[in-house]
Amino acid sequence: MNTLVNWFELPVQQLDRAVAFYEHVLGGQFRHETVAGIEMAVFPHVKPATGGALVKGPMFQPVSGGTVVYLATANLAAALERVREKGGECCFGPEVLPQGIGTIALIIDSEGNRVGLHQPA
């Protein structure tokens, strides 16, 4: 096993709004699917990279205090501006990490989830 993390899901209340938020903030197009009655929009990724999706269903509720998933961005400052343009907010950072790890920030997305953004050094 090369990695323990192989998939992630971000709960949403309004899938179209969340897709518009993340496409605006990060770019890329989402693939829409329905699996076991759960509406999903899959983040763009190329295998073997870890994939994930925005998910809408009765057992999925957005939360601002749970697990944090960090999404990559080439330009953190520009991504944070796009977060604000779509009604999200920055709740931490930007913070430059030691040892050339890069810069991070935490946002609250359009659905109320706390999500990390990471710009590699």
CA–CA separation, 44 and 99 (whole Å): 28
pLDDT tens per residue across all 121 residues of the chain? 577 788 999 999 999 999 999 999 999 999 999 999 999 999 999 888 899 999 999 999 999 999 999 999 999 999 999 999 999 999 999 999 999 999 999 999 999 999 999 999 9
Q: Between 15-26 and 76-85, two packed helices, what is the crossing angle to 10 degrees? A: 150
**pLDDT the model gives residue 95:** 97
Q: Are the CB atoms for 78 and 90 separated by under 8 Å?
A: no
Backbone angles phi, psi at 107, to 5 degrees: -125, 160
User: What is the secondary structure of 38-65 as a DSSP string?
Assistant: EEEEEPP--TTS-EEEEEESTT----SS
Q: Which residues pair with 71 in a beta bridge?
A: 117
Q: Are the CB atoms for 100 and 121 separated by under 8 Å?
A: yes
Strand 31-35 relative to strand 38-42, pairing: antiparallel
**pLDDT the model gives residue 8:** 96
